[in-house]
Amino acid sequence: MGHPLLRNVVALSLLLLPSLARAEDKPALPNQVLGATLRIGGGGLFGPGTDQATNPIWAIGASLDVRLGESIYLDLSGDSSAPTGSSAGTGAVLLQIDQEQAGIRAKLGPPAAHGLVGLGGGYARLHDRTGAAQGQGPLAYGLGGYETLVFGGGESAGYVGAELVYDQYFMPASATFRGSRVEGRVTFSYYFGGSEVSECR
C-alpha cells in the first residue's frame, strides 16, 4: 500500500473527514437511497510478477451502493479484468483477475455534479485464459473521481462519471502476480428510492 497514488487518496480522505462529519449533522433524508452502477475501463499491472502478466488490461464491473448517511455510501462491487491482447509474451500468461470489494464511498459537493473518494478491501482470484488458477488473496483499494447528473431528479436520477482506481494485491509468493493495478474507468449510475437529488429540479 506504499504506492504514491494510494497514499494521496488516503491523505485526501483524511483532509475531507471534517466536512463529511459536518454533513452528517444535517437531518437525515427521508428514504434510503440505493444506487446501481456499470463501469468499464482499462489500465495496467505494476510490481512483482508483472513480467509474467500481459499488459495493458481492460476491465468491466458493477456495484451496488447503499446510503449510510447524507453523503456516505456502503459500496459493494465486483470486477473482472483481462489483457487487451490475445497472445502472451515469452514466459507470460494471459492473466485474468476476478475480484469482489466492499468499502465506503463519499460524494463531495452538490447532487448535480460532485467529486468522489472511496476506500475499501476485498478478495481477488487470478487465473489464465484456460481457467487454471494462478493465485488468490486479499486486496485494498482507493479511488477518486467525479460524476454529473444526466437525467432525472427528485426520487431517481442517472449519472455518468469517471474514476481513477488503485488496487493493491496481497498475494502469496506462489502467485503469478503480486503487484498492483491502476485503472481509469467511466461509470454509468442510476440512483433511486430517496430525495437525494431533489434540489436538481
**C-alpha to C-alpha distance for 126 and 89, rounded to whole angstroms:** 18
Q: What is the pLDDT of residue 112?
A: 86
Domain boundaries, the chain: 4-24+33-200
Q: pLDDT by residue (tens digit) across 75-103?
A: 999 999 999 987 777 778 999 999 999 99
Q: What is the pLDDT of residue 141?
A: 98
Q: pLDDT by residue (tens digit) across 36-58?
A: 999 999 999 999 999 888 889 99
Show the low-confidence residues of the chain (pLDDT under 50): 1-2, 5-6, 9, 12-13, 16, 19-32, 196-201
Residue 131 CA from chain centroid, whole number? 24
Residues 6+ apart with CB under 8 A from 7: 1
Are 190 and 156 within 8 A, CB to CB? Answer: yes
Q: What is the pLDDT of residue 8?
A: 54
Residues 6+ apart with CB under 8 A from 112: 148, 149, 197, 199, 200
Q: What is the pLDDT of residue 168?
A: 97
Q: The domain 4-24+33-200: what is its CATH number?
A: 2.40.160.20
Residue 11 grid coordinates: 491523505
The secondary structure element, H or E, covering residue 11 is helix 4-24
